[in-house]
Amino acid sequence: MAVVKTRTSGKQVFSQETRDEAMKIARGTQRPGQTKEQTRLIAQGIQKGIDQYKSSRKPRPVNLINSVRKVRLVSRMQLTFKRSKRW
């Protein structure tokens, strides 16, 4: 898992792999005269971007997809039944 939110502080804790990757990218784009603090902040933004990308690429579980389909089907059937009761 790339990100874990702690219960007490609510801050995101990134995996070491993600931190290393983000710092590598931040150092590669570093400008002359840029402070370590600025580079660290850039790396944090890159970490968040990497995490958003990874979470959007995760496949949804098949069971969840099937349960959503069932709910939609049942709601359609209920609407059809309500309409047919009017006669």
Residues 15, 47: contact at Cβ < 8 Å?
A: no
What is the 8-class DSSP label of residue 1?
-
CA 73 – CA 70 distance, rounded (Å)? 5
pLDDT in tens, 39-79: 999 999 999 998 888 887 776 666 777 777 778 777 777 76
What local confidence, expressed as pLDDT, does residue 9 receive? Answer: 58
Does the pLDDT at position 32 exceed 80? Answer: yes
Compute the residue count for the chain.
87
Residues 51, 14: contact at Cβ < 8 Å?
A: yes
Q: Which helix (H) or strand (E) holds 12?
A: strand 12-14
Q: Which two tokens stand for residue 62?
A: 């098949």
Query: pTM for this one?
Result: 0.54
Residues 14, 47: contact at Cβ < 8 Å?
A: yes
